Chains A and B, each alone.
Chain A
């Protein structure tokens, strides 16, 4: 499974757009990218996943360049309640869905 690298922490202010970039240089052809959000003492919550180009849902957008060696999670107009740890994961298509978590990015949104 491809290893991921993302910033340990980020700070933002309410109403701003936040972009968290994740590197996954060794991503394999059939791997896909998924992002989760975790609040303290809770299980991770699925945000978005994609294979290439751009994916958008009601919560976030995911941008994946053509070489797929990185991806960027974009959170529009964050609020205080978006303060959480965000995990970028690469999922092997033939790995039975196994998720190997890295350290994640601790996002702090300030008023």
Chain B
């Protein structure tokens, strides 16, 4: 299957700081990228959908000013958690798909964020 990478794999930061997570599709052009959050023992929750060159679409209840998403190219999307607080500590996972229709969505390995 296609390869999606994330960086960093884990990050620890102080409360109030901002953290940027990168998601890259390594061997295909991703027209659409998605960002998910997963708390322990829970399922993945879709946060937002981003298409290259356009503004991200956020799911209900997700603060767009807190979780800034940039999809500047067909292979890179970034998620910035602004003014992070301990309740933002979670496992953040991105995914990417190329094309439209029934294209398979491939997931990155995830980023573990711990806010102290």
Binding site for B on A (CB under 8 A): 32, 34, 36, 41-46, 49, 51, 87, 91, 93, 96-104
Number of A-B contacts (CB under 8 A): 63
CA distance A87 to B46 in the complex (A): 14
- What separation, in Å, do the CA atoms of A59 and B64 have in the docked complex? 38
Most buried by A among B1, B32, B95: B95
Query: Chain B 83-107, CB within 8 Å of chain A: the 1/0 string?
Result: 0000000010111010011111111
Q: Chain A: which residue is nearest B106 at the CB level?
A: A46
Known: A43-B93, A98-B34, A98-B49. A32 touches B43 (CB 8 A): no
Contacts of A43 in B (CB 8 A): 4, 6, 93-95, 107-110
Interface size class of B (residues with CB under 8 A): 20 to 34
| B46 adjacent to A97 (CB under 8 Å) | no
Nearest opposing residue in chain B for A87, CB measure? B43
A43-B4, A44-B44, A96-B32 are known; give 18 further A-B pairs, CB within 8 A: A32-B102, A42-B110, A43-B108, A44-B95, A45-B1, A45-B107, A46-B104, A51-B102, A93-B101, A97-B34, A97-B103, A99-B34, A99-B95, A99-B105, A101-B36, A101-B43, A101-B44, A104-B43
